[in-house]
Structure 1
Amino acid sequence: MKHKVTVVGLGPGSEDGLTLGALKALRQAPNVVLRTEMHGIVPFLKAQGIEYTSMDDIYQDGEDFDHVYEAMVKRVMDMAQSGQVVVGVPGHPLIGERLTFELLRRLDREMYDIDIIPGVSSADALLALVQKAGIEGLKILSAPEMTEDLINVRLATVVINMYDALIASDVKLLLLRFYPHDLEVFVSWQTQDNRLEYKAVPLYQLDRQRRYDHTTCMYLPPVKFERLESFDMNHLKQIMEILRSPQGCPWDKEQTHETLKRYLIEEAYEVIESIDKQDEDKLLEELGDVLLQVVFHSQIARERGAFDIFDVITRICQKMIHRHTHIFGDIVAENAQQVVANWEDMKRHEKGFATHTQVLRDIPSILPALIRSYKVQEKAALVGFDWESVEGAMQKLEEELAELKEVCSGSDQQKIREEIGDLLFAAVNVARFLKVDPELALKDTIEKFIARFEYIEKNANRPLHEMTLEEMDELWNQAKKLFLTKKHV
């Protein structure tokens, strides 16, 4: 025979907020236990002759909330051994009530029957008090568990369990990330005679109120688009939809995947430049520009019925989870090399490649040649087609240089081009062995060349075209020594 546990919502605190179903269950139960006696309904229960025990002593002995609720669940289980037990919890059992969650999670359904009798939540009472209706939707959040990803400024929100000024301060700081600082919010609490009172305050004063306790709640209104100071992906999507609408921007409406290609490339390079310059404010801006391109292309695809931004997000999330089975699955990867090997193996299976040549051909031909050659060599090395050490790659580089010297005396431009390509490919292989990105290395050299050339021009006593190569070379060497000295200072 199964043991019976009934969780009853005691309402917000007044006897008017206690449902008939809850009162009936409390009267008929052989064993009643309250999570806490710190609740306005307790005097009424005593007046009704309802006997109970409470679990307030567990709060005194528990090391932390995890231990507290573990002990509460154990007590309920022990009480249920001797007959049906009714567990009274504040408000609604399923709204911000961790004990209910723990009971549902921990009690074996083969051994226990669990009933839930709903009650009037503190959120219900607050909405009635301030006379607000969440027509578009309503979100209820528990203050101690609030995180950024739970916040939605489009919906009316009730925050419960704001039981002290410290919690209120944490909530305020979190909300100011998304809401206007002077947004009018409603804070409510229960008086000693079990009446609910509330006060309208600007958000920035949320943690400066006189009273906080287990009954303190807050109502946050939805925020209109025009008042927002912080935005999320949905807002960016909405802006792009407006710009592409019939009443939108003429330029944005004309764009296609093809016309936008150059902008995506430009924005990506600007991100790289901001990283190189260690300019975080610029990086912030440029990453936004790249994100805009992603949303732009997604909106164009959505208009054709192909996919939308949420499909894009879903696909990359699925890919990241699938390719990180050492995190989200049971495959073991003890180091970065094993991670890469697992990743490559999964990519081959996903794309249905039967040969390794298909893997090489899958590397986009539109990539800059230095990057593509690095990737091709990297993929080939995965099946053992590689030198044992950098010495072998260096020897190959010397061979290619010698072959280039041989053809330079002739007039066969195709052959010269071929040998230069071989030389560059071999140089990239040396860079790969030395774990140097050839694209970035060449970029650095270009910047170094320009800086040294600038030194020559600034320190020349006449126009450059009037100088001999020897004179310019002397200044070049001066610049070389100067920049070398600065590098080591």
Structure 2
Amino acid sequence: MAARIQVLGLGAGDLEQLPLGMYKQIKKVQKLYVRTKEHPVIDELIREGVQVESFDHVYLQHGGFDEVYEQISRELLDKAEQEQEILYAVPGHPLVAERTVQLLLEQARSQQVEIQVLGGQSFLDPLFARLAIDPIEGFALLDATRLTAQQINPELHSVIAQVYDQLTASDVKLTLMEVLPDEHPVTIVTAVGVAGMEHVETVPLYELDHHQGFGNLSLVYVQPTQADTVRNRQFARLREIVAILRSPEGCPWDREQTHQSLRKNLIEESFEVLEAIDEDDPDGMCEELGDLLLQVLLHSQIAVENGDFSIDDVILGLNEKLIRRHPHVFGERHADDANEAFATWQEVKAAEKAAKGIDPQELSQLHGIPRELPALMYAYKLQKKAAEVGFDWDNVADVEKKIEEEYEEVKQATAEERAGELGDLLFAVVNLARFYKVDPEEALRLTNRKFTRRFQFIEKKLKETGKTFSESSLPELDKWWDEAKATE
């Protein structure tokens, strides 16, 4: 006969609230195993002569709850094999916020132990009654020891269980502060439904870990909020706003936009992000990244309306791609440096193309360079791709000689030929930058910013002297230019 563990819940209150069937089951066994003696029912059972063996000592042996629960479940399975049948009691209901029971259910089959859950009253019923919460409005039951900001939905009633002590409460506070304002009210509830022990106190979030009475029967309730200061930090709110803008009741300009009409906006917003990066402006970068994200949401909303895809599909595809192309992070592969990581990325990328029926041998070596890149960057990438197969100059002296040749051709070109010859000269200069291991786009950006600073210095001097450009001589302007250079 297979060994068996019967699991029952002690409820959220005292012995009077324990169902008669549960009470009889406890009185029949020679020994009752309990996760913790820190429960009002246990004290009463011990006074009635029930022999109780707890796992409170396990908490002192480990620094984290995961290890505690793992050990308790292992010991219970071992005891079941030795004794054939044991009764295990936990606070509340065995299937509500009780990790040891979940571990038993996961592990019992491999050890051929039967788990029978007998039931019990969870703390949720008395909690809802005490705080006058209707759960149909939507609520989340969360584990304080595993809490993340991503789990917090500020529009739901949130019950955070297993807030055992001030340290756990501090972790809960810091996590909630990532989503909610510091002053948001939170309610600390201990021993809900237990006469003479129940304690309920509402405090501002920032004071949560100042409370002194946390214990095994403590939880934190977070009331929902519709405040704009909270909702406007949520990605779901952004999606909602964009959908409203595109709706018949929304903005006439937004409703008229198409993928093609927004194309230039996407390019402009991308460059404004780059400008904020170049200016080392975190506030500007935050704003410009928001503008760029808006373009992504607008394109995704248009795609939803066309029945093509949604932002969820965009996120799904990106998540899957990132995991797939980083097997050295999410899989069994290893990468000791950036070069190995990049090689893995390229390998997986090639496999993806093969899975789509694309033969890399049939593609041009220049395939994959976005056509809409700025011309200077596009030229740089063209040359790098060509160089990978050996189509390249032998040394930098050859490149310098080519620049001289192209410059002579520019000087000799007719008006009709000039654009093409200047393009050849710029292309040759890009080659020189590549040989010097300088990104030509970044090099020109540096010069553009340098020119802007010096020119604005001249404008400042003109204002100080009350003059205009037309009223100033070129030597005078050159003098101020040199002054600007000297201040850099």
Q: Give TM class, smaller chain.
A: 0.7 to 0.9
Q: Structure 1 residue 454: deviation in Å?
A: 4.7
Deviation track 1:189-229 (CA, whole Å, cap 9, x = no partner) reads 12875653433444444334452222122222222254636
In the alignment, what sits opposite 2:338?
A: 336
Worse-superposed segment, 265-274 or 342-351: 342-351
Q: Structure 1 residue 356: deviation in Å?
A: 6.8
Q: Structure 1 residue 355: deviation in Å?
A: 3.1
Alpha-carbon separation, structure 2, partners of 1:155 and 1:380:
57
Matched, 1:443 2:445: yes
List runs of 5+ in structure 1 lacking aligned partners. none
Alignment of 1:152-231 (within 5 A): 152-190=153-191, 193=195, 196-209=198-211, 211-224=213-226, 226=228, 228=230, 231=233
Which of 301, 304, 310 does residue 302 from structure 1 map onto?
304
Matched, 1:98 2:99: yes
Worse-superposed segment, 236-245 or 104-113: 104-113
Q: Structure 1 residue 37: deviation in Å?
A: 0.5
In the alignment, what sits opposite 1:39?
A: 39
Deviation track 1:298-318 (CA, whole Å, cap 9, x = no partner) reads 111111211111111111111
Alpha-carbon separation, structure 1, partners of 2:60 and 2:441:
63
In the alignment, what sits opposite 2:89?
A: 88
List runs of 5+ in structure 2 lacking aligned partners. none
Deviation track 1:319-375 (CA, whole Å, cap 9, x = no partner) reads 111111221223333321222222223333334243374462332211101222222
Contact 1:137 1:156 in 2 (8 A): yes
Alpha-carbon separation, structure 2, partners of 1:180 and 1:215:
26
Alpha-carbon separation, structure 1, partners of 2:310 and 2:102:
36
Worse-superposed segment, 96-105 or 285-294: 96-105
Q: Structure 1 residue 106: deviation in Å?
A: 4.6
Equivalent position amino acid for 1:51 in 2? Q
Q: Structure 1 residue 108: deviation in Å?
A: 5.4
Q: Structure 1 residue 443: deviation in Å?
A: 1.0
In the alignment, what sits opposite 2:431?
A: 429
In the alignment, what sits opposite 1:133?
A: 134
**Against the structure 1 CA distance between its residues 184 and 468, is the aligned structure 2 distance closer, same or farther, given a 3 Å change threshold?**
closer
Equivalent position amino acid for 1:213 in 2? G
TM-score by length of 2: 0.86
Contact 2:413 2:421 in 1 (8 A): no
Alpha-carbon separation, structure 2, partners of 1:469 and 1:224:
63
Alpha-carbon separation, structure 2, partners of 1:346 and 1:215:
50
**Against the structure 1 CA distance between its residues 357 and 394, is the aligned structure 2 distance closer, same or farther, given a 3 Å change threshold?**
farther
Which of 351, 361, 368 does residue 362 from structure 1 map onto?
368
How many residues align structurally?
479
Contact 1:156 1:220 in 2 (8 A): yes
- Counting aligned pairs with the same residue, the percent is 39
Matched, 1:249 2:255: no
Worse-superposed segment, 19-28 or 285-294: 19-28
Alpha-carbon separation, structure 1, partners of 2:138 and 2:413:
77
**Against the structure 1 CA distance between its residues 463 and 145, is the aligned structure 2 distance closer, same or farther, given a 3 Å change threshold?**
closer
Alpha-carbon separation, structure 1, partners of 2:278 and 2:265:
20
Deviation track 1:12-36 (CA, whole Å, cap 9, x = no partner) reads 2323553456445534555531111
Contact 2:164 2:218 in 1 (8 A): yes
Contact 1:134 1:155 in 2 (8 A): no
In the alignment, what sits opposite 1:76?
A: 76
**Against the structure 1 CA distance between its residues 126 and 347, is the aligned structure 2 distance closer, same or farther, given a 3 Å change threshold?**
same
Contact 2:3 2:80 in 1 (8 A): yes
In the alignment, what sits opposite 1:315?
A: 317
Q: Structure 1 residue 38: deviation in Å?
A: 0.7
In the alignment, what sits opposite 2:382?
A: 376
